[in-house]
Structures are given as C-alpha cells and as structure tokens.
Amino acid sequence: MMKTKLVKKSIKTLFLLSAAFFFLNACTPQSDRFYTEAYSEIEKGHFRVALDLLERSAQTAKQDKKRTKAMVEAARIARFEIQDYNRALRLNREIVMKSEDPKQRLNAQLALGEIYLENTQNYAQALKEFLILEQLEQNLALKERLKFKIAQAQFLIGNPKSSLEYIDSALKLSGPEKKNFLKLRAQVLISEKKFDEAIAAYADLLTLDEPFFNKENLYIATSIAYEEKEDYAAALAYLQTYKDRIQDKAYLELRIKRLSERLTNKPLFKGRRK
C-alpha cells in the first residue's frame, strides 16, 4: 500500500514537472529558443548549424535588440569561423539597413569594407564602403583607422596620389596609426619610384617605433628601396649596419650575395659607348 502511494506520488511529481517544462517552453519566444540552440551548437563547434539557427532567431525576433544581437553573431560566424564571405556581406548589409542601434550599424558598415578589402579583394567596393563610413564616424581614433583603410584601398586600386593625400592628412594628426601610415607611405612612394622619399619614411618609422620596424622586417624593405634606385653600395651598407637585428639570417645572406653581384656587374657608365 505504501509502495503504491509512493509510485502514485512519483508519477504525479513527474507529470507536474513535465507540465511545467512544456508550459515554460511554450512561453519562451521562438527566437530565444533558436538563439539558445545556436549557442549549444557553437559550443560543439557546429558553426554552420549555429549560423542557420541564428538567422532563424533573427527572423522570428519581435524586438530589434534581439534581432540585431542574433544577426551580429551570425555575421561574425560567417566571416571568421566558416569564411563564408558572401553570407557575411549579406548579414552585415542587413544590419546596416535594418538595425535601430547606431553603433551596430557603424560596426557592420566597417565590416563590409574590411571584408571587401581583406577577404574578397574587391578594393573598389571596399573604398565605397569606407567613404560612406567616413562621413558618419565621429570618434577620432576610429576615424584615423578608417583613413588608413581608405588610403590602403586607394593604393590597391591604382590611385597612389589619393592614397598619399589621405596618408599625409592623417600624419599631421600624429595619432596611434602613425606607424602604419608611415609604412604604407613608403610602399606607395616605392611604387611611384620616389625612392629617396620612401627611404626617409622608413627612417622616420625606425625612429618612431623600432620594435614595430623589427617586427615588420623593414630593414629588408629599406634595402630594397636602395636597390630599386640602383644604389647597391648603400643597400649593402644598410644591411651590414643592421644585420644583427634581422632575424632571417639565411635570407639576409642571400640578399647580401645578390647585392654584391649586382654591384660587381654594375656598369661604370650608362648609355652608348663611343
């Protein structure tokens, strides 16, 4: 008799718990359930499944905040986890067009430009996206970072003059991106065969931030600028001066050998012999 009562009580408890579970589940918005399921799949490393669930969460969300949250996470996964750049572009474009959050719209606009610049190499479209954002961004640090990306895009689409204009404008402000601007300036100047100006830009960068100069291996880049202007002796002397700071010794020796050969074979006079 006692056992029967215990069994009945257990069944009743189980029934009540089940009813409570179904009641709570029924009361949970569908978008929240999709979002929770998505994070469960992310923890398992099932990013494509999670991405689909996040998009469904965004589609069923009634609040803009929840919809934007799901779309931002979906865009992140598409871009960084599975490298589906077309999908990432679509999601970020949707955030720009539909989100009520100004910060998220700006972030998505920046992401559009970065994906075009860094991932799909559509430099002309990247430039368009960055120029739109330049008119909207008010934060000075972010604006400087944006000017650097615009300068990059201008250079990569074959417009070095505009690239240098953006660089020189930013360098007047002397912000945290100065080292990156100087490096890019030197690269643009080399492409324009303005080797002395490029060498001067590298020298300014070495003075400004020596650890960055070392990390980017710009001693080699500077020697190449000398080589491009056919001053092989100066290129060799530069490498000899800084050889202890160049990590790749095998490549350094190869560069020194190449420059020595070019210096030996360099004609004393150019033009037609008489």
Strand, coil or helix: 137: coil
The answer on pLDDT for 40 being more than 80 is: yes
Give residue 17's pLDDT band: very low, low, confident or very high (50, 70, 90): very low
The answer on pLDDT for 147 being more than 50 is: yes
pLDDT at 28: 72
Give residue 4's pLDDT band: very low, low, confident or very high (50, 70, 90): low
Give dist(CA 77, CA 87) in Å, integer. Answer: 10
Token pair, residue 209, equals: 């931030």
The answer on pLDDT for 104 being more than 80 is: yes
For the chain, the average pLDDT equals: 89
Helix intervals (H) in 77-177: 85-98, 102-114, 123-136, 140-156, 160-171
The answer on pLDDT for 87 being more than 90 is: yes
Q: Given this structure, which CATH class describes domain 30-137?
A: mainly alpha
Give dist(CA 200, CA 223) in Å, integer. Answer: 12
Helix intervals (H) in 216-248: 218-228, 232-242
Between CA 120 and CA 82, with CA 97 as vertex, the angle to 5 degrees is 35
List pLDDT tens digits, range 223-238. 999 999 999 999 999 9
Domains of the chain, residue spans: 30-137
Give residue 124's pLDDT band: very low, low, confident or very high (50, 70, 90): very high
Q: For residue 51, give the nearest of 26, 10, 79 by alpha carbon.
A: 79
pLDDT at 173: 78
| Pairs from 243-249 (Cβ < 8 Å, separation ≥ 24) | 245/214, 245/219, 246/217, 246/219, 246/220, 247/217, 248/217
Reported as type and span, the H/E element at residue 70 is: helix 64-76
